[in-house]
Amino acid sequence: MVRERVEEAKGTRERILDVALDLFVEKGFDKTSLREIAAQLGFSKAALYYHFASKDDILLALHHRLHQLMFVDDGWPLGGQRITVGLWVTMLDGFIDKIPANRQLIALHERNRAAFEALHDKEHERVHGDLDEQLLAALEDPSIPDRQRVRMAVAFAGIMGGLLFSGDSLGGMSNEEMVDELKRAVHAVLEV
């Protein structure tokens, strides 16, 4: 049936993305070759081009995963709504809940910022709003005092980047404790 073929293709596509995600995090986007991705999947490099038009396209798809993670549900991207500190906290709390299941994706972004931005420059018509770009736009709202905007930036960067450190050294903590403490930290920064 057509249905089966479609799902099989989709499955392979997702498998490629999973492998690419692991390698991009471990070695970095630029130092990971398509040959390596293909080898780990058990087929040849050329086969990747049946599923993705280019290497950038693979990163773009992973970008999309992260984008979905941040901007779906949770009331984002705030269709026209003006940002407030309260909304910011709500958004970050929602995001923190998703962290344990999506560490790799966040690590990808943290460790390959330059590659993501180059992608954005090149394919600006497809990447309509980069992650950082949308958050920056929210932080540019002049109706919020500068000092509060600094706090909002620190809070966001703290949970994104703090994860890289905590991943290895805090294995003793459960996900629930981690999530809970990240929220407390965010609330402390934003004085809620």
Q: How far is the CB of 77 from a second copy (least distance, A)?
A: 16
Mutual angle of helices 146-169 and 175-189, in 10-degree steps: 160
Cis peptide before 77 (omega within 30 of 0): yes
168 binds, among DNA, a second copy, none (CB under 5 to 8 A by kind): a second copy
Instruction: List contacts with DNA (CB under 7 A).
Output: 5-6, 8-9, 12, 32-35, 38, 42-47, 49-51, 53-56
Q: How far is the CB of 46 from DNA (least distance, A)?
A: 3
Q: Closer CB to DNA, residue 27 or residue 184?
A: 27
- Contact indicator for 62, 32 with CB cutoff of 8 Å: no
Separation of alpha carbons 31 and 12, rounded Å: 23
> Per CB under 8 A, does 77 bind a second copy?
no
Q: Give the x-and-dash track for 12-51 against a second copy (CB under 8 A).
A: ---------------xxxxx--------------------
Q: How far is the CB of 67 from DNA (least distance, A)?
A: 21
> Per CB under 8 A, does 135 bind a second copy?
yes
Cβ contacts of residue 24 below 8 Å, gap of 6+?
A: 32, 59, 62, 108, 112
Provide DSSP, 39-101.
Answer: HHHTS-HHHHHHH-SSHHHHHHHHHHHHHHHHHSSTTTT-TTPPP-HHHHHHHHHHHHHHTGG
> Per CB under 8 A, does 147 bind a second copy?
yes
| Both tokens assigned to 163 | 């994860």
> Per CB under 8 A, does 188 bind a second copy?
yes
User: Using the rule CB under 8 A, which residue among 139, 143, 175, 176 binds a second copy?
Assistant: 139
Pick from 191, 137, 133, 186: nearest CA to 161: 186
Q: Closer CB to a second copy, residue 39 or residue 114?
A: 114
122 binds, among a second copy, DNA, none (CB under 5 to 8 A by kind): none
> Per CB under 8 A, does 153 bind a second copy?
yes
> Per CB under 8 A, does 94 bind a second copy?
no
